[in-house]
Amino acid sequence: MNAEDESLVEVPYEVNNYKNFQYAWYHGDFGKFRLSLLLLKLGMAYDNGLEQEIAYNQTLGSYLAFTENRVKATAALYYQTGKIASRDLSAWYAAAELNIGLSEEVAAGIGAEYLSGTDMDSLDTDLNSFTLWFGTNHKFNGWMDYFYVGNHSNSVGLIDVFAQLSYKKEKFNATLKPHLFWSAANIINTTGDVEDKYLGAEVDFSLGYQLIKEIGLSAGYSHMFAASSMEILKQGNAENTNNWAWVMLTIKPTLFSSEKKQGNQL
């Protein structure tokens, strides 16, 4: 159980993180299939009047992967229940992806993710927004991290439909990954009307070159084409140019070798 510091008496836990958690996880390989099962229970502290209490929520679900030759398919389904603060939680997540190697150098893929959300005009006290408690920056929902990296929790959810085209030959590689985004729940504008759920499109592009075994150079560019609905969620002006570029040098030296040197016995 987490605490802010050592104390002989009980003190409030003010950190924006879990107070305690328990989990059970199973993973198995079955030939061409890989299966993972998860049950996670999180206890989050919150203030209820003058007292601090702990609300518990549970995440349960599974991940399945199939691989054969140049084909790889994955699917995932998770459900969340319990409470966040004083609100009842009922949310779910679903994802599927298919990647096919078109040749030794070229691969293509398509996929989609659905994260349930809560309508902005909902009069129900239940929370239907799926929460990514331990997110992975850049890997999902676009490299610009518009969603679920420090924001968008307890919001309208997300539908992410994406494709990927990659090329790799010898020391060079390139990846193009466009996304189309929609909200999973209703967005309400300033006049009280339901806004279009389409949030915009993002295009991610990267290049990489392995200079030597231990050193690699990579660069990338991302551009967001935001729709007017994005302004309601993120503020700002959707017509403004929004992009970023990066360059990275990766060094992976071998500090210790497990190989044993063999010599001649005289």
What's the total number of domains in the chain? Answer: 1
- Is the pLDDT higher at 140 or at 17? 140
Instruction: Classify residue 1: in a domain, yes or no.
Output: no
The reported pTM is 0.88
Q: Rounded to whole angstroms, how far apart are CA atoms 179 and 199?
A: 11
Tokens of 196: 């279009």
Residue 254 lies in a domain: no
Q: What is the pLDDT of residue 9?
A: 67
Q: Is the pLDDT of residue 261 over 80?
A: no
Q: Could you give the C-alpha distances from 211 to 206, 221, 235, 250, in angstroms and in order?
A: 16, 21, 42, 10
pLDDT of residue 264: 47
Residue 233, helix vs strand vs coil: helix
Tell me the residue range of the domain where 123 lies. Answer: 20-205
Report yes or no on 229 lying in a domain.
Answer: no
Instruction: With respect to residue 257, please indicate whether it lies within any of the assigned structural domains.
Output: no
Handedness of CA 141, 145, 146, 151 (dihedral sign): positive
Percentage of the chain lying above the pLDDT 90 cut: 70
The answer to whether 147 touches 109, Cβ cutoff 8 Å, is no
Q: Is residue 243 part of a domain?
A: no
Whether residue 215 lies inside any domain: the answer is: no
Please report, for the domain that includes residue 102, its CATH number: 2.40.160.100
pLDDT for res 258: 65
| 200-222 pLDDT tens trace | 999 999 999 999 999 999 999 99
Q: What is the pLDDT of residues 143-163, one digit of tens each?
A: 999 998 877 888 999 999 999
